[in-house]
Amino acid sequence: MFEILDHPADIGFKAFAETLPGLFENAALAMLSIRARLDDIEPRESYQLTATGSDYESLLVNWLSEVLYFIDGKQLAFRSVRVESLTDEAVSGFGSGEPFDPARHEIKVVVKAVTYHQLAIERTPEGWSARVYLDI
């Protein structure tokens, strides 16, 4: 579903999926997996997520930034993210998780931001792939 990419200052990943909504879900899962240990998070509640963009690249950055806002700004821990709707200019879905509890939820890496550095979304014979770097 995804692989971690080496970078001297940031951390990156390459996500894969058969569908574009699946790609957005797997990209969010990659970012969540980089940030925290997901096995410790219970999917107790769902939180509505939305983002807009002028193309798939900006839409993906804004989608991942929305997920990051909820986990950092609203102090939530997400175990998974699901896309309900995806168009050329908007994506909506939900994150499943619970309020962040430092006694139970291990943070592996602090993700500061999603970047446009070497950002790429490609259609492949198997479906879709995306390369994303995160500022840590």
pLDDT digits over 92-125, tens only?
Answer: 999 999 999 999 999 999 999 999 999 999 999 9
DSSP conformation letters of the chain: -EEEE--SSSEEEEEEESSHHHHHHHHHHHHHHHHB-GGG----EEEEEEEE-SSHHHHHHHHHHHHHIIIIIS-EEEEEEEEEEE-SSEEEEEEEEEE--TTT--B-S---EE--TT-EEEEETTEEEEEEEEE-
Greater model confidence, 69 or 3: 69
**pLDDT band with cut points at 50, 70 and 90 for residue 6:** low
- Given a cut of 80, whether residue 3 has pLDDT beyond it is no
The full set of domains in the chain, from first to last, is: 2-135 (3.55.10.10)
Q: Write down the residue that tokens 């446009």 correspond to.
A: 116
97, amino acid identity: G
Q: pLDDT tens digits for 8-64?
A: 668 899 999 999 999 999 999 999 999 999 999 999 999 999 999 999 999 999 999
Give the predicted TM-score (pTM) of the model: 0.92
Instruction: Give pLDDT, residue 2.
Output: 76
